[in-house]
Structure 1
Amino acid sequence: MHLHDVWFVLIAVLWTGYFFLEGFDFGVGILTKLLARDRTEKRVLINTIGPVWDGNEVWLISAGAATFAAFPEWYATLFSGFYLPLLIILVCLIVRGVAFEYRAKRPEEGWQRNWETAIFWTSLIPAFLWGVAFGNIVHGVKIDSQFEYVGSFGDLLNPYALLGGLVTLTLFTFHGTVFVGLKTVGEIRERARKLALKVGLVTAVIALVFLLWTQADSGDGKSMVAMIVAVVALLAALVAAQIGREGWAFALSGLTIVAAVVMLFLTLFPNVMPSSLNADWSLTVTNASSSPYTLKIMTWCAGITTPFVLLYQGWTYWVFRKRIGTQHIADAAH
């Protein structure tokens, strides 16, 4: 295996980790409108992800940086062609971070309500747009012989990509619902379990259609296995959530995300960004990669730093592992 193949796999791992971790905190942000009944319950939901949401975004930064360094041609075409949706995602992530920090800085109800609304929308919009973006990457976009995107923003809003956006939106919401069931006690936990069934069933239908479409379009035997794992894991997560095994439900919903992302990257390889105009104009792991020397240096750096990042994040989740409920909120006004 060449180093450019190794870095394709590593980038796939980074995106998988990002969607697994950021997926549930996007879901929790969406649930502040769908599940919480009052200000105190909204604070409970926000507190479940308070210690970890910013650490989850490290995976996105790492994925973007790795793409820039390992596959500069891919990075240039992706970020120039998808400029508007990626800019929207970036603005949402910035506002979302500010909303988490500023929401409780003042006691006025209007102030807190506005930031809570911001948390909802800046969780929902990226959850949808990430699916649209990856749907286009896998399905293929208008890339010319110079490896430049020559389509329009409207071209990105095709049926396959929009369906991909619905998949990530519903799947992340389900993942967040299961996480809330795992991290809370009392009435919120029970309502999260009931909501998980409804959201999970909708997710299963949409995801099955999308995965079958992907398999029929560009799949093979390996991607078929990943698709089966994703569907089975999602159905098993539904069952686990209903019988009160939230730990298993969360692990299985996470496995659904992992298997789905793995399937997308399996159907993509050896391309990194297929051209819908001419297959010969597609960006591949070969023509889009950096020099072998650059990839070698990157591999050494990643091997040294990655274990420390994993240990730190693991420690954070262990420290903040206990359940919380409305009884743990000292001042309901905040």
Structure 2
Amino acid sequence: MIMELTTVWFALIAILWAGYFLLEGFDFGVGILLPVLGRDDRERRLLINTIGPVWDGNEVWLLVAGGATFAAFPEWYATLFSGFYLPLLLILVALIIRGVAFEYRGKRDGAVWKKRWDLSIFVGSLVPALLWGVAFGNIVRGVRLDERHEYVGGFVSLLNPYALLGGLTTLTLFTLHGAVFLALKTDGEMRRRANKLAATIGLPAVAIAAAFLICTAIIRFDGIGVGLFAVAAVALVAALVANRLGREGWAFIATGATLVLAVLGLFVTLFPNVLPSTIGDANSLTVHNASSTPYTLKVMTWVAVFFTPIVLLYQGWTYWIFRKRLTVEKIPA
């Protein structure tokens, strides 16, 4: 039973991270594109309003993923947050600044005031979009763990070429995902500019993502993982085709599928490890030696069965209520 539940919770954590990248990914993309597509204050307010009702709800997926990791695999959680302390702290600070910026931007009318918070939104979106890829790149590649499963490397070793390529992959994919979302959620001139920008971002996103997934298959080959990567690549190309045809809904579904399939592929490739050791396989953390007790996993399973449908229902309801397109003309001067 303990082995079965550890596998179940590893899969659930993979789904939570896939959901987070799917939903928060376009949030980050909108924030990154704020100074690019927002030519004046009204246009920037329009861009912020596209994610205004949902951005904080999307972050729930991160909180649940972190909490589930802490409860189901405490050894994994402890090693990650001690070894990856600085990059995770940078992500946390960026998310805090970004959240404060959304709330405080409209408190005053001064141009300088708004410009500073717009910059905060941009930086607070770009930093996590980059560093999440770096973090997952190191998790898949493996880090220096000793026989006590403690990280003995340094911060610089986390900035290896493969991890940095992972960071560029999430950065470009999130930006593309955000551009497609803006083309889906706006109309008029903003919709046309977002559609055109998505086409521009698409080609480098395909090249960078393909390079990262090929490197991943070389480092840790897994047949199912490679299959998921291949389908993700097809979905990414389909997103560009749909965007070119002006079918923003299909393009958004395709970019979302790309992110979900890529994350699931990384977790499949990683299994049964949760954090490999580059010093020796005996030092690696696995779903078995990093897990909680059977009782803890049983309680968590029942809690997940009860609360997960509720979360999905209220979040789905939110997206349905705020599904209509927005235009600059609807933003008061």
Q: 1:208 is matched with which residue? A: 210
Distance 1:131 1:34 in 2: 22
**Cα deviation code 1:237-294 (max 9, x no counterpart):** 0010111100000000000001110110011000000001111100000000001110
1:269-288 mapped onto 2 (5 Å cutoff) = 269-288=271-290
Distance 1:113 1:36 in 2: 11
1:2-81 mapped onto 2 (5 Å cutoff) = 2-81=4-83
The alpha carbon displacement at 1:126 in A equals: 0.4
**Cα deviation code 1:166-204 (max 9, x no counterpart):** 000000000000000000001110011111111111100
Q: 2:298 is matched with which residue? A: 296
The alpha carbon displacement at 1:137 in A equals: 0.2
**Cα deviation code 1:23-52 (max 9, x no counterpart):** 000000001012221111111110000000
Distance 2:166 2:37 in 1: 24
RMSD between superposed Cα atoms in Å: 0.6
2:107 alignment partner, SS class:
coil
The alpha carbon displacement at 1:139 in A equals: 0.3
Distance 1:263 1:54 in 2: 27
The alpha carbon displacement at 1:220 in A equals: 1.7
Please point out which of 113, 122, 126 is paired with 2:115.
Answer: 113
- One-letter amino acid of the counterpart of residue 251, structure 1: I
Q: 1:150 is matched with which residue? A: 152
Distance 1:129 1:141 in 2: 16
- One-letter amino acid of the counterpart of residue 171, structure 1: L
**Cα deviation code 1:45-89 (max 9, x no counterpart):** 100000000000000000000000000000000000000000000
Distance 1:136 1:324 in 2: 39
Task: Confirm or deny that 1:135 pairs with 2:145.
Answer: no
Q: 1:87 is matched with which residue? A: 89
Please point out which of 324, 329, 332 is paired with 1:330.
Answer: 332
2:274 alignment partner, SS class:
strand
Q: 1:231 is matched with which residue? A: 233
- One-letter amino acid of the counterpart of residue 139, structure 1: R
Q: What TM-score, normalized to structure 2?
A: 0.99
How many residues matched?
331
- One-letter amino acid of the counterpart of residue 137, structure 1: I
Distance 1:73 1:226 in 2: 28
Please point out which of 221, 224, 245 is paired with 2:223.
Answer: 221
The alpha carbon displacement at 1:216 in A equals: 1.2
Unpaired runs of 5+ in structure 2? Answer: none
The alpha carbon displacement at 1:119 in A equals: 0.2
Q: What TM-score, normalized to structure 1?
A: 0.98
Task: Confirm or deny that 1:256 pairs with 2:249.
Answer: no
- One-letter amino acid of the counterpart of residue 264, structure 2: V
Task: Confirm or deny that 1:194 pairs with 2:196.
Answer: yes
The alpha carbon displacement at 1:144 in A equals: 0.5
Task: Point out the more displaced range, 252-261 or 214-223.
Answer: 214-223
Please point out which of 313, 316, 331 is paired with 1:314.
Answer: 316
Distance 1:109 1:325 in 2: 22
- One-letter amino acid of the counterpart of residue 200, structure 1: G
Distance 2:228 2:241 in 1: 20
**Cα deviation code 1:107-135 (max 9, x no counterpart):** 11100110001000110010000000000
- One-letter amino acid of the counterpart of residue 34, structure 1: V
Please point out which of 267, 270, 275 is paired with 2:269.
Answer: 267
1:107 alignment partner, SS class:
coil
Q: 2:105 is matched with which residue? A: 103
